[in-house]
Amino acid sequence: MTDYSHLISDQLYIGGWRAGTSERTATDTNPFNDEEIVAIRQASTADVDEAYEIAQQKQQDWAALPPKKRAAILTKAADWIEANAEAIGALIQAESGSSAIKAHIETGLAVGSLREAATFPSRITGTILPSDTSGKTNLVFREPVGVVGVISPWNFPFTLSMRSVAPALGCGNAVVLKPASDTPLTGGLLLAKIFEAAGLPEGVLNVVVGAGSEIGDHFVESPVPALISFTGSTPVGQGVGTTAIGGKHMKKVALELGGNAPLVVLDDADLDQAVGGATLGKFMHQGQICMAVNRIIVQAPLYDEFVEKFAERVKTISYGNQLDEGTVVGPLINDQQVESVRAKIEQARAEGAREVVSGSIDGRVVSPHVFADVTPDMELFREEIFGPVVGIIKADDEEHALALANDTEFGLSSAVYTRDLTRGTRFARRIEAGMTHVNDITVNDEAHVMFGGEKNSGLGRFNGQWAIDAFTTEHWVGVAPGEAKFPF
């Protein structure tokens, strides 16, 4: 195993490295065997206040740097990741239970976010508009929002922290980052090490590691951040949004929440492609991805053959210790997730779904499970699974398949398989989701292309120009010649 000890810190990053002041100390462990990685003294609410205060002090100087200098620091951070990619991947594997393939993908996505964000300082533009007042000019400047608070999840901690941190910095903001308690290193403190090495001025990025029960509400309620970027479950995100928008200190929010992604197989689909896409899209990172295939909807003429081929393909997936070469499905992140997935398996059996692939639950490793003949009244159809379990639903025809795909409160990612690209595009546009992929998996993220959902899957858009819009605000400055004649 590659040595990643130089990437580990047991301190917070608040204007520099220092210990937290909470009475709590949390132990970060490998979810497969509970082997300790590091023990971290947690942040208190006072630490959060200090982090925000320092960020506020440093933000204007950072924004005032020439675009070329800010871009150079972001580029250097991306270069540093690539130079240390093997160690970073090993740490992602150990801390989040990721397979080698997933860790490699995650590292690459983080680099992509940085390189895209490095273009932002020179892409931020304003507008000049005419005025109805003689001699007056209307200037609309696009400015940084100021300080951004980022709350990131545990499933893709490195990528999903960087997806908010990099563009926020690129747009001239300062950031306070609170990573998930299960992944404080790859979701937080690792980013501090990277940006420190890249030459980011101290205080522009601050990282506080702490329990949500102790600092979560305080992090959002603070009067300092102008925007809270949250990635996580829909119930928690709804709470964050309510507090941020409706609280004493109103602020903007960017929310990327849960999903219930349908993968639709129409009657003219290439079956091998559909089976392969459904397998990868479902079981990557044990299904612990907001975009993971959650429901497979197959049009009747292909249903039986799809179920048979998919089941046979899934039975070949290796599972166990994520550090073993070749492992595809590793451990779930914690015991709470294991119990949630176990309950969903038992519920599917109780509701009468046909179990075509079954297996074991050994510690936190849940082997792949597949249920056929799932119906819309079953929990597997309605709820986000976030584990290596999937249900297959039969659709009578294309319109029925569309109705099934849209029969959910969520609308993040989706996919449709068909040999007819015109048909696929037409079908895709009628799915109520922020993202739909024709003949590709539901799990897709490109740093220059918008990312976000509809319905209860979130608010706002990430990546590319959409990130510039999210992490900046517009300021109208009207410039008159000072020759007005006032009526009173």
CATH number of the domain bearing residue 183: 3.40.605.10
Assess whether 217 and 241 both reside in one domain. yes
Does 451 map to a domain? no
Q: Tell me if 197 is assigned to some domain.
A: yes
Tokens in use for 325? 């070469």
- 81 and 11 assigned to the same domain: yes
Q: Is 149 helix (H, G, I), strand (E, B) or coil?
A: strand
Q: Are residues 167 and 76 in the same domain?
A: yes
- As given in the structure block, the two tokens for residue 233 are 């479950």
Domain that holds residue 228: 5-257+457-476
User: Could you tell me if residue 320 is inside a domain?
Assistant: yes
In a domain, 481, yes or no: no
Nearest to 414 by CA among 443, 447, 449, 387: 443
pLDDT beyond 80 at 1: no
Q: What 3-state class would DSSP assign to 284?
A: helix
Q: What pLDDT sits at residue 232?
A: 95
Q: Is 256 a catalytic residue?
A: yes
Question: What percent of the chain clears pLDDT 90, i.e. is strictly above it?
Answer: 98
Q: What is the mean pLDDT of residues 165-186?
A: 98
How many residues does this entry show for the chain?
488
pLDDT, position 3: 95
Residues 230 and 277 in one domain: no
- In this structure, the answer to whether residues 181 and 295 fall within a common structural domain is no
List Cα–Cα distances, 16 to 206, 226, 372, in angstroms: 8, 23, 54
Same-domain check for residues 243 and 279: no
Whether residues 219 and 362 fall in one domain: no
> Is residue 252 located within the same domain as residue 271?
no
CATH number at residue 282: 3.40.309.10
- How many angstroms separate the CA atoms of 108 and 102, rounded? 10
Task: Confirm whether 487 is domain-assigned.
Answer: no
Claim to verify: residue 146 and residue 288 sit in the same structural domain: no
Residue 486 domain-assigned (yes or no): no
Which tokens belong to 35?
């082997």
Q: At 357, is the pLDDT very low, low, confident or very high (cuts 50, 70, 90)? A: very high
Instruction: For residue 4, report the phi and psi dihedrals to the nearest 5 degrees.
Output: -125, 20
Quick one: 220 and 179 in the same domain? yes
Q: What is the pLDDT of residues 94-148, one digit of tens each?
A: 999 999 999 999 999 999 999 999 999 999 999 999 999 999 999 999 999 999 9
Instruction: Report the number of distinct structural domains present in the chain.
Output: 2
Is residue 482 a part of any domain in this protein?
no
The pTM for the full model equals 0.96
C-alpha atoms less than 13 angstroms from C-alpha of 302 in its C-beta half-sphere: 25
Q: Which pLDDT belongs to residue 27?
A: 98
Query: DSSP string of 28-56?
Result: EE-TTT--EEEEEEPPPHHHHHHHHHHHH
Q: Which residue is it, tokens 């747009």? A: 171
Q: What confidence category does residue 88 fall into, taking pLDDT thresholds of 50, 70 and 90? A: very high
Selecting among 95, 106, 116, 256, the annotated active-site residue is 256
The answer to whether 230 and 151 have CB atoms below 8 angstroms apart is yes
Q: Provide the pLDDT for residue 466.
A: 97
In a domain, 244, yes or no: yes
Same domain, 250 and 274: no
pLDDT of residue 65: 98
Q: Are residues 270 and 250 in the same domain?
A: no
Q: Is pLDDT above 90 for 218?
A: yes
